[in-house]
């Protein structure tokens, strides 16, 4: 019955995605849903896209291993990111009437920055998308008791996500996100009530976590530990701002006010609800402490089996159906957004400038071809990575933090920012981060902070020094 329910759920999701495709008449519909999403749908897309596999399977495990301090990046950093976007960036994004964030770099700095940042941002999505496909593969493997190996499950995952995204684009993402948000919230809330009650009540679950020191937030140690803590927070809090999926959700709203409110509401709901799976895992480990052995498994990916294994071994069938329905919702909603975002960037900002006379129909066809290609690349990445989903997500945002954030923020808030500063910022940030990560990955100052520092310095030097030199030269004459 459980496997049949999962198959039925997947078929319903694909059907919704295909039905949504009927709304796609042009490339604007495909990329930003025609800029017509009302507040409830815009909020759902923000929440459902952020609430992914790592939120259910990885954040909960990281809390059980390291406490609140271990999940500073997600949900704390990721939630703050959405608040920052809503308050500081949403209005600027919406008023520009652009299809992609790559269009911003072109409009503000020129073709070279458009191409460079689009490539960097698109590549950053490989890890995030691979995390979702790995999670879905893990579900298939767990449900069949290993009859479907993880690798085969990942391949099936790619096909499923592609099936309902390829025709409808952002409209399919928005429609399925709305359905999936309801499934996530209702399903996990009921499960939390049932499992918490079985563990002795919320008081006992929370009290045990407090006694075990799981609510200790601030790092213990010296400068190295504090800098690592700050870096983890900044990686998601600001490193995920220059991402196409956030840009798409802001600009798919029906108006500027909805864009701001949708980001704020989505971020708030996400932060509040992400602790529900954390609570479920804490209760599950109370009921069956033997599951704690998975927390120290040699293959880091095995730690993500704690919650599925508990649900399968200790709950009735109706709870299992609810759980896997909610889990599939979380994975599919994030995975669909994670493949449409880089697809939009690659097609609009890398391929289209090479063929300026491409018709809208040809552009739509190219979008779908690129979607298939990126999904294949993400599948290959997932098959060859042994990182946890939590690590994959953090690594994805490190790239944009050191190479794309400073040019974006300076381009909006600093009038002196210019093309030379933007290029120097992106190049210095990326190169410094790579060198530091290669030569001194365990240094007191994390490579990510080194890259961010050089990115800021590059923007300042490139934008101020040439101007000052020109003024000095003009003054001498």
pLDDT in tens, 368-395: 999 999 999 999 988 887 666 556 666 6
The arithmetic mean of pLDDT across residues 39-55, rounded, is 84
Q: Compute the distance between CA of residue 75 and CA of residue 402 in angstroms, rounded to an integer.
A: 21
Q: Compute the distance between CA of residue 24 and CA of residue 465 in angstroms, rounded to an integer.
A: 48
The arithmetic mean of pLDDT across residues 262-290, rounded, is 91
The burial class, CB within 10 Å (0-12 / 13-18 / 19+), for 437 is: middle
Q: What pLDDT score was predicted for residue 131?
A: 81
How remote is the C-alpha of 380 from its chain's centroid? 19
Q: What pLDDT score was predicted for residue 476?
A: 53
- pTM equals 0.85
- 163-167, 233-237, 242-246, 322-326: range with highest mean pLDDT: 233-237
Percent of the residues in the chain that have a pLDDT greater than 90, as a whole number: 36
Q: Compute the distance between CA of residue 165 and CA of residue 132 in angstroms, rounded to an integer.
A: 15
Residue 362 predicted with pLDDT over 80: yes
* pLDDT tier for residue 229 given thresholds of 50, 70 and 90: very high
CA distances to 104, 240, 245, 252, 273 from 95, rounded to whole Å, are: 11, 20, 17, 12, 31
The arithmetic mean of pLDDT across residues 242-252, rounded, is 87
Q: What pLDDT score was predicted for residue 139?
A: 83
pLDDT in tens, 182-219: 888 888 899 999 999 999 999 999 999 999 888 998 98
The alpha helices in 1-70, defined as continuous H runs, are: 2-20, 27-32, 39-50, 53, 59-66
Q: What pLDDT score was predicted for residue 297?
A: 66
Q: Compute the distance between CA of residue 456 and CA of residue 425 in angstroms, rounded to an integer.
A: 6
pLDDT in tens, 100-143: 899 999 999 999 999 999 998 888 888 878 888 888 888 888 88
Q: What pLDDT score was predicted for residue 402?
A: 93
Q: Compute the distance between CA of residue 305 and CA of residue 17 in angstroms, rounded to an integer.
A: 29
Higher pLDDT, 164 or 26: 26
Structure tokens at 242: 């220059």
Residue 443 predicted with pLDDT over 70: yes
Q: Compute the distance between CA of residue 131 and CA of residue 337 in angstroms, rounded to an integer.
A: 13
Higher pLDDT, 299 or 144: 144
Partners of residue 37 on adjacent β-strands: 253
Q: What pLDDT score was predicted for residue 472?
A: 53
CB 181 within 8 A of CB 262: no
Neighbours of 8 (CB within 10 A): 12
Q: What is the SS3 assignment for 37?
A: strand
Question: Which of these ranges, 37-46, 138-147, 251-260, 267-276, has the smallest mean pLDDT?
Answer: 138-147
Q: Compute the distance between CA of residue 425 and CA of residue 402 in angstroms, rounded to an integer.
A: 8
Q: Compute the distance between CA of residue 378 and CA of residue 26 in angstroms, rounded to an integer.
A: 26
| Average pLDDT score over the chain | 86
């Amino acid at each position: 019955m459980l496997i049949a329910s999962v198959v039925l759920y997947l078929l319903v999701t694909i059907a919704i995605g295909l039905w949504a495709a009927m709304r796609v008449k042009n490339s604007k519909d495909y990329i930003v849903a025609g800029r017509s999403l009302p507040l409830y749908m815009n909020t759902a897309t923000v929440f459902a896209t952020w609430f992914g596999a790592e939120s259910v399977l990885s954040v909960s495990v990281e809390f059980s291993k390291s406490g609140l301090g271990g999940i500073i990046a997600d949900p704390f950093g990721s939630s703050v990111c959405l608040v920052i976007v809503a308050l500081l960036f949403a209005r600027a994004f919406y008023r520009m009437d652009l299809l992609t964030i790559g269009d911003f770099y072109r409009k503000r700095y020129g073709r070279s920055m458009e191409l460079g940042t689009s490539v960097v941002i698109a590549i950053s999505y490989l890890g995030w998308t691979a995390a979702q496909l790995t999670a879905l593969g893990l579900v298939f493997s767990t449900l069949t008791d290993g009859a479907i190996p993880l690798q085969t499950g990942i391949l099936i995952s790619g096909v499923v996500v592609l099936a309902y995204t390829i025709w409808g684009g952002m409209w399919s993402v928005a429609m399925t996100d709305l359905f999936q948000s309801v499934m996530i919230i209702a399903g996990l809330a009921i499960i939390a009530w049932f499992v918490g009650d079985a563990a002795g009540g919320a008081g006992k679950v929370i009290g045990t976590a407090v006694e075990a020191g799981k609510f200790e937030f601030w790092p213990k140690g010296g400068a190295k530990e504090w800098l690592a803590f700050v870096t983890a927070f900044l990686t998601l809090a600001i490193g995920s701002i220059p991402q196409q999926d956030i840009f798409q959700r802001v600009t798919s709203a029906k108006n500027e006010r909805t864009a701001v409110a949708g980001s704020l509401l989505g971020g708030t709901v996400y932060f509040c609800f992400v602790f529900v799976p954390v609570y479920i895992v804490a209760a599950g480990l109370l009921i069956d402490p033997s599951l704690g052995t998975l927390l120290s498994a040699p293959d880091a990916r095995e730690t993500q089996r704690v919650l599925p294994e508990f649900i399968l071994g200790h709950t009735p069938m109706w709870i299992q159906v609810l759980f896997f329905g909610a889990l599939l919702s979380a994975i599919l909603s994030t995975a669909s957004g994670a493949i449409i975002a880089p697809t939009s960037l690659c097609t609009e900002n890398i391929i289209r400038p090479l063929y300026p006379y491409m018709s809208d129909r040809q552009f739509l066809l190219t979008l779908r071809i690129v979607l298939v290609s990126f999904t294949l690349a993400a599948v290959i990445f997932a098959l060859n990575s042994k990182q946890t989903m939590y690590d994959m997500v953090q690594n994805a945002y490190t790239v944009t933090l050191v190479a794309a954030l400073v040019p974006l923020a300076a381009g909006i808030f600093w009038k002196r920012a210019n093309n030379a500063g933007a290029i120097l910022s992106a190049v210095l940030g990326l190169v410094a981060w790579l060198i530091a990560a290669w030569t001194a990955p365990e240094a007191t100052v994390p490579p990510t902070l080194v890259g961010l520092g050089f990115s800021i310095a590059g923007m300042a030097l490139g934008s101020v020094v040439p101007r000052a030199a020109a003024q000095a030269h003009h003054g001498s004459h």
